[in-house]
Amino acid sequence: MTVPHAILAYGYDLGGGGEWKITQKDEYGTPAVPWYDSDRDDFIDQATTVLLADAGLADPSPWNQGEDLKYHLGVKFERYAEWDNPVYVLAAHVINRDWEDTELLDMQALTQQVRDQGWDDKLRHAVETLGITPEQTGPGWILGAYQS
């Protein structure tokens, strides 16, 4: 049985798989940044390594990279859409819910968190470090879904 999940993330929709939503792409739509090797790990794994190296973690544990990224840089990559063709958000904040849960959101408090916790600055630092330009004009709230 598959279970639907929803995510609400503050950040950039980077796309993935069939359609990357960054301006640095080759003629085939593959990310075209100097550190990315399409014959190696996937783009998000390599991007995580670049960001962690920028934070001074040149040899992080592969088991904690997501947590290390959030702790040291205040951002994370969140997957949505199909599991076999993932799409990603570079996010400063993520709310996940499955089909059995609801949550009343205080959007005013979330908007205040954007300012108070410097989410825009953290996201800007991450995209500059990666050398990517999201097609989105700036960070924002992104609603996505997937099934597991």
Q: Partners of 119 in the beta sheet? A: none
Predicted confidence (pLDDT) at residue 1 exceeds the cutoff of 90: no
49 — phi, psi (to 5°)? -60, -45
**Residue 138 pLDDT grade (very low, low, confident, very high; cuts 50, 70, 90):** very high
Rounded distance, CA 57 to CA 54, Å?
7
What residue spans define the domains of the chain? 4-147
Tens of pLDDT along 2-45? Answer: 778 889 999 999 998 779 999 999 999 889 999 999 888 789 98
Q: Look up the pTM and report it.
A: 0.90
Tens of pLDDT along 54-103? Answer: 988 766 666 677 788 888 899 999 888 776 778 899 999 999 888 888 88
pLDDT for 67 equals: 82
Backbone torsion region of residue 95, taken as left when φ is above 0, otherwise alpha when ψ lies between -120 and 50, otherwise beta:
beta
pLDDT for 62 equals: 65
29 — phi, psi (to 5°)? 85, 5
